[in-house]
Structure 1
Amino acid sequence: MARARLNSGNGNTDELPKTKINRASLSNVGKFLRYLKPYRGKFLLGLFFLFLSSISLLAFPALMGSMVDAAQGQQNLAFIPADIKTIGTIAFFILFFQSFVSFFRIRFFVEVAERTLADIRRDTYFNLITLPMDFFANRRVGELNSRLSADLSQIQDTMTTTFAEMIRQAILLVGGVSFLFIVSAKLTLLNLSILPVIVVIAVFFGKFIRNLSRKAQDKLAESNTIVQETLQGISNVKAFVNEAYEANRYQNSLKAVVNLALKGATYRGLFASFILFCIFGAIVSVIWYGSSLISTGELSVGDLTTYIISSLFVAGSMGSFPELYANVQKAVGATERVIELLEETKEDVSIRQEDNEINKRIAGNLVFDQVQFAYPSRSEIDVLKGVSFSAKAGEKIAIVGPSGTGKSTLASLILGFYKPQDGNILFDGKNVDSFKLTDIRNQVAIVPQDVLLFGGSIGENIAYGKLTATQEEIIAAAKRANAHDFIMGFPEGYHTLVGERGVKLSGGQRQRIAIARALLKDPAILILDEATSSLDSESERLVQHALEELMKNRTSIIIAHRLSTIREASKIIVIENGQVVECGTHYELIQHEAGLYRYLSNLQQEKVDG
């Protein structure tokens, strides 16, 4: 039972998936690399210092070997003096040089990576907030946040560390192997003869053990899910006397975790033993065979010392490549997901505030002409089926009907969140397509049922309706919205923080702040989407007064659940199953004995009387 819900509690969610590196993935990486272009000078400098750092590191084995031979009065290499003091001085000089170039290598690579990632983060975020509503309807916020955090962090790690380390280890590997052949071809051939076997076994064994560890983590996540579900539904567990069942379910899950963990420990122990045997076996073999070469005069003690130290460099380089390659795979996968986001089709809006000023004014006349609409994610289901109605500037038009009939969809279409598949929407007699999207949204305001406030101050949330508003304008809007008194009741007044999503405020307070925000925007068309349906009587009274102030001298589209709030509307549009079934004033519609509006009105009256 818990298996089906495992994804919600899986312990592996933090591990980014790896992507096979192929032509398509490399093409995406190529698109990503264009962000390096402005910083290519510093990037090339970083590569230069990386090369110097790696090459200078390869000098240490030769110097250590020469020092050992110099101690015995021999000269290891012709170009290195047979003097311990001189060799030590050279070693410290190279060490200082190594430290010097390493500083600049790290400094340049981190600077390039940070600046590049900042550009990518900026473009990704800018692109994200300009995508159409349909995109967000089909994505989870957690998934999008992951692309801006986990995916880009993986790319950042690759650019700052993995990429440079791969180049560094490649130089050490190639240079080290070449140096090993120079020191002793026979010892190198001995190592290379057994190395492929060790590598192949290690790779396959390591993959098998990782799979076992992943299964154990999955099982542990499943057991954690059982605990979470049981505690969340503890009242049901107790009501049905199923404590023993849940305890048994958890115990069986833990047994499976233990069994997998023990199996993994067995194989890990065998793997560790094998690796230790191989490592020390290789060392013993090199020293054994090297000693025999020393005894025959083919190799000096210093040469053997140089060979062993160089071998450690080579072994370290080879051992680091699997992990580095895995990180590159993760980064390639992260790159693909971010590129997908960057290549999504945007709305016609700009991230420059000055580009979004109003160019064409709307008086407030609105017409829906045979509008047909289905959400892109459910294209087979028509939400609106030939809806037609009109609103003159300054009129109050109410939209009523049963739940799920498309009332809120009308608000989304007016705001340009979606486009109808058929029919026309007209502002002041002109098709919606003749207006810039920003012109429409700048002149249409919405007060929804569930008001979302940002986590800043009350003043900042009101000013969201007009970013250039002065403190006097903010206070004036709050007074008109019946919000000033309760705001000043807080110790910090307009500087009071509202908390995440406005949780520190009541529903009525949030609604009045939203109304003040809309008043500050001063829209030509106002949409009230069931703005008072979730409020108590006292809050509804205060909010209703604020709404009446807000609706003055502007076209108002009132999507209503409580019919008592729309009796004074200029026109009431009744929608059922995506179609307009009635239209008229309250007094006209209430006369239709078989009408839907009268039925809904009587139904609500019965609830009040009951």
Structure 2
Amino acid sequence: MPYYGWVKPNKYYVFLEPIRLINMARNVSSTKEELPKPKLNKENIKSVKKLLKYLKPYQFKFIIGMIFLFLSSITLLAFPALLGAMIDAAQSKQTYAWLPSDIATIGYIAFIILFAQAVVSFFRIRLFVEVSEKSVADIRRDTYFNLITLPMDFFSNRWVGELNSRLSADLSQIQTTMTTTLAEMIRQLITMIGGIAFLIIVSPKLTLLNLAILPVMIIAAVFFGSFIRKLSRQTQDQLAESNTIVQETLQGISNVKAFVNEAFEAGRYKKSLTEVVRIAMRGANYRGVFVSFIIFCIFGAVIGVIWYGSVLVLNGEMTVGDLTTYILYSMFVAGSMGSFPDLYANVQKAVGASERVIELLEEKQEDISINPINSKDRKRISGNLSFEHINFSYPSRLESPVLKDISFSVKAGEKLAIVGPSGTGKSTIASLILRFYNPQSGQLLFDGNPAENYSLTDIRSQIAIVPQDVLLFGGTIRENIAYGDLNASNEEVIEAAKRANAHDFVTGFPEGYETLVGERGVKLSGGQRQRIAIARALLKDPAILILDEATSSLDSESERLVQEALEELLKNRTSIIIAHRLSTIRQVDKIIVVNEGQVIETGTHQELIIREGGMYKYLSELQTETKPIHS
């Protein structure tokens, strides 16, 4: 058994007391994932330009906001000069000929400028927020619409969390940059340039002294800052690794206790945390050196400026007011320069986010109209369906064929059952009928016409599917049923629920049809969700119905109620029934047996059940076979 730092319980809890464990867990769980910060180049700048088109409808307000931003920055630069002039006026001196020497007048001017600055800042913030909120809302709308109209093979290669991150984290970063970062960078740039200009005007000698110290501080900050950030990331990575141990242990706590490995897990966690402390202490040493150096340089510069400035005042080369003005402008410039690294990092994140959003916006969409079901010029399908020599592999696994030379047909109003072992392509056939994917070869025909002759809107608006695992949206029961026809009246929704055996249990809830089903319909049982899905399909009144093992996971009573609802749903429409329980398909018009992507048997239940050596007969015997129970 490997040694992971076996410790006695009392020593272990002294090493990491419970409160500290809780705090560390909180820190880990609250740490946000850092967005990547790509280097700026021509390619990602092009991505930003593509998003800037969303500013065009609001460009007038954006320009006015920029003017207000410029005015607020300029008025801010006036205060150090006014304060210096006020100090000199107190000593009966006049700093600048263009300023009055009266203290009261200077004070009044300062308050007037302060009021103007406040008004201008309000409108600047108001306009920038309005422009950014509206333009980002437009980006969100287009990104979301483009996302939900992408083909299914796109989603098969993406994580839902990744796509959600693009709509949330990436667009939030772009919004923050447009609202705050961009304006702040321009303001700090104006402040820095204006401040340096005033520093040179007030005292060229003191400015030369500052410029001699500045390069040393910048080089040190860049070098040490990069090194310390690497150490900080290492600490976070190691801490995340230790948190993974906690998650794994708690998720498998029954196994830990069953194997009596509590001390082993405690030792493993201790070893990981010891490494966290080691890396953190190494980072603390370098951070301490860096902070001490920066403090020494900053305060050394301040002392040097005041010292040398005092000498200049003593020699009559500048006034006390000038020295005060110079110090204030120095603080402005230092603050502006100090804010640029964070602002630049935010811009980098926004550029990276822009690239990912543009990538999503430029993905090729399916040809789907916004409101397909009510289209008057929809090309009607009566229900005849044929597969002719279809071969299909999923785009992400082209080397692994799922369907091989599949051929079958079903007439309008007939019921076709598809059976076979798991993983043989039954649900893939349903996906092809809905044209979620296109076959690599062969033809899918509706009413004798190639599927390509119909728009996706025409096909999907006339096909309904009731899956095994029904997904309900987190609204009311009424809204979930009406999803089959968004323009259905209240009476039509209730009628569909009655035909689906759902009306009785719905009216049994205190809120009736306004009952919230919860996320993914978790507040309803499996049988209730199935009947809501059937009501939804009835409301859609499709020409072709697909049932994908709709009763396989239900208990006997729920199955009976759902089966009665399905009988109502199956009337007078073409039905494709993907079945797991063969007892539910004995009355269909035709059965096809699929194995390893190929149709190996076709016929009715009576024809297939008597075929010796046939797979249908074998599967039927497996389901009806009873085995003795050994005590």
Quickly name the TM-score band, shorter chain normalised: over 0.9
Aligned partners of 1:257, 1:41: CA distance in 2, in Å?
53
Aligned partners of 1:402, 1:535: CA distance in 2, in Å?
19
**Aligned-partner SS, 1:504:** coil
- Supply the AA of the counterpart residue of 1:200: I
Aligned partners of 2:259, 2:119: CA distance in 1, in Å?
71
* 1:422 matched to 2:438: no
Deviation at 1:143, TM superposition (A): 1.1
Change over 3 Å in CA distance of 1:83–1:546 after alignment to 2: same
Alignment partner of 2:81 out of 50, 56, 62? 62
Alignment partner of 2:176 out of 157, 174, 177? 157
**Aligned-partner SS, 2:537:** helix
Encode CA deviations 1:260-285: one digit per residue, 9 max, x unaligned. Answer: 22222222222221221111111111
| Equivalences for residues 525-544 of structure 1 within 5 A | 525-544=544-563
| Equivalences for residues 484-503 of structure 1 within 5 A | 484-503=503-522
Deviation at 1:14, TM superposition (A): 2.4
Query: In the alignment, which residue of structure 2 is the partner of 1:144?
Result: 163
**Aligned-partner SS, 2:99:** coil
Contact map agreement 1:10 1:218 (CA 8 A) in 2:
no
Aligned partners of 2:427, 2:501: CA distance in 1, in Å?
26
Contact map agreement 2:228 2:287 (CA 8 A) in 1:
yes
Alignment partner of 2:191 out of 149, 172, 180? 172
Encode CA deviations 1:78-126: one digit per residue, 9 max, x unaligned. Answer: 1111111111111111111111111111111111011111111111111
Encode CA deviations 1:161-216: one digit per residue, 9 max, x unaligned. Answer: 00000000000111111111111111111111110110110122122222222211
Alignment partner of 1:290 out of 305, 309, 314? 309
- Supply the AA of the counterpart residue of 2:163: L
Change over 3 Å in CA distance of 1:475–1:501 after alignment to 2: same
* 1:318 matched to 2:341: no
- Supply the AA of the counterpart residue of 1:440: I
- Supply the AA of the counterpart residue of 2:365: K
Contact map agreement 1:11 1:217 (CA 8 A) in 2:
no
Deviation at 1:242, TM superposition (A): 1.4
Deviation at 1:413, TM superposition (A): 0.5
Query: In the alignment, which residue of structure 1 is the partner of 2:19?
Result: none
Query: In the alignment, which residue of structure 1 is the partner of 2:325?
Result: 306
Query: In the alignment, which residue of structure 1 is the partner of 2:568?
Result: 549
**Aligned-partner SS, 1:542:** helix
Aligned partners of 2:498, 2:627: CA distance in 1, in Å?
32
- Supply the AA of the counterpart residue of 1:349: I
Encode CA deviations 1:351-378: one digit per residue, 9 max, x unaligned. Answer: 3568856611100000000011110011
Alignment partner of 2:600 out of 581, 585, 596? 581
Encode CA deviations 1:444-483: one digit per residue, 9 max, x unaligned. Answer: 0000000000111111111110111111111111111111
Unaligned runs of 5+ in 1: 2-8
Query: In the alignment, which residue of structure 2 is the partner of 1:374?
Result: 393
* 1:120 matched to 2:126: no
Query: In the alignment, which residue of structure 2 is the partner of 1:436?
Result: 455
Change over 3 Å in CA distance of 1:437–1:486 after alignment to 2: same
Query: In the alignment, which residue of structure 2 is the partner of 1:246?
Result: 265
- Supply the AA of the counterpart residue of 1:558: I
* 1:201 matched to 2:220: yes
Deviation at 1:11, TM superposition (A): 7.0
| Equivalences for residues 208-287 of structure 1 within 5 A | 208-287=227-306
Count of equivalent residues: 603
Structure 1 segments of 4+ aligned residues over 3 angstroms from their partners: 9-13, 352-358, 607-610
Aligned partners of 2:549, 2:600: CA distance in 1, in Å?
20
Query: In the alignment, which residue of structure 2 is the partner of 1:185?
Result: 204
**Aligned-partner SS, 2:625:** helix
Aligned partners of 1:27, 1:43: CA distance in 2, in Å?
20
Change over 3 Å in CA distance of 1:291–1:357 after alignment to 2: farther
Encode CA deviations 1:555-579: one digit per residue, 9 max, x unaligned. Answer: 0000001111111111101111111
Contact map agreement 1:357 1:439 (CA 8 A) in 2:
no
Aligned partners of 2:375, 2:345: CA distance in 1, in Å?
44
Give the stretch that moved more between structures: 198-207 or 306-315.
198-207
Contact map agreement 1:70 1:84 (CA 8 A) in 2:
yes
Contact map agreement 1:365 1:427 (CA 8 A) in 2:
yes
Alignment partner of 1:481 out of 500, 518, 522? 500
| Equivalences for residues 54-93 of structure 1 within 5 A | 54-93=73-112
- Supply the AA of the counterpart residue of 1:118: A
Encode CA deviations 1:310-349: one digit per residue, 9 max, x unaligned. Answer: 1000000000000000000011111111111111110101
Contact map agreement 2:592 2:602 (CA 8 A) in 1:
yes
Encode CA deviations 1:61-83: one digit per residue, 9 max, x unaligned. Answer: 11111111111111111111111
Question: In percent, how many aligned pairs have the same letter?
Answer: 72
Aligned partners of 2:620, 2:346: CA distance in 1, in Å?
64
**Aligned-partner SS, 2:281:** helix
Aligned partners of 2:198, 2:509: CA distance in 1, in Å?
76
Aligned partners of 1:236, 1:100: CA distance in 2, in Å?
65
Aligned partners of 2:286, 2:377: CA distance in 1, in Å?
69
Contact map agreement 1:358 1:438 (CA 8 A) in 2:
no
* 1:598 matched to 2:617: yes
Aligned partners of 1:347, 1:276: CA distance in 2, in Å?
59
Alignment partner of 2:579 out of 547, 554, 560? 560
* 1:97 matched to 2:116: yes
Aligned partners of 1:474, 1:436: CA distance in 2, in Å?
28
Alignment partner of 1:15 out of 24, 34, 49? 34
Alignment partner of 2:415 out of 396, 403, 423? 396
Give the stretch that moved more between structures: 12-21 or 22-31.
12-21
Query: In the alignment, which residue of structure 1 is the partner of 2:55?
Result: 36
Give the stretch that moved more between structures: 24-33 or 91-100.
91-100
Contact map agreement 2:418 2:578 (CA 8 A) in 1:
yes
**Aligned-partner SS, 1:208:** helix
Query: In the alignment, which residue of structure 2 is the partner of 1:6?
Result: none
- Supply the AA of the counterpart residue of 2:170: D
Change over 3 Å in CA distance of 1:608–1:451 after alignment to 2: farther
Give the stretch that moved more between structures: 356-365 or 549-558.
356-365
Provide the alpha-carbon RMSD of the alignment.
1.5
Give the stretch that moved more between structures: 351-360 or 582-591.
351-360
Change over 3 Å in CA distance of 1:355–1:291 after alignment to 2: farther
Aligned partners of 1:353, 1:413: CA distance in 2, in Å?
19
Deviation at 1:538, TM superposition (A): 1.2
Give the stretch that moved more between structures: 485-494 or 401-410.
485-494
TM-score with structure 1 setting the length? 0.97
Contact map agreement 2:372 2:461 (CA 8 A) in 1:
no
Contact map agreement 2:196 2:333 (CA 8 A) in 1:
yes
TM-score with structure 2 setting the length? 0.94
* 1:510 matched to 2:529: yes
Contact map agreement 2:84 2:322 (CA 8 A) in 1:
yes
**Aligned-partner SS, 1:58:** helix
Query: In the alignment, which residue of structure 1 is the partner of 2:350?
Result: 331
Deviation at 1:296, TM superposition (A): 2.2
* 1:464 matched to 2:454: no
Contact map agreement 2:373 2:461 (CA 8 A) in 1:
no
Query: In the alignment, which residue of structure 2 is the partner of 1:4?
Result: none
Contact map agreement 1:294 1:300 (CA 8 A) in 2:
yes
Change over 3 Å in CA distance of 1:510–1:142 after alignment to 2: same
Deviation at 1:10, TM superposition (A): 8.3
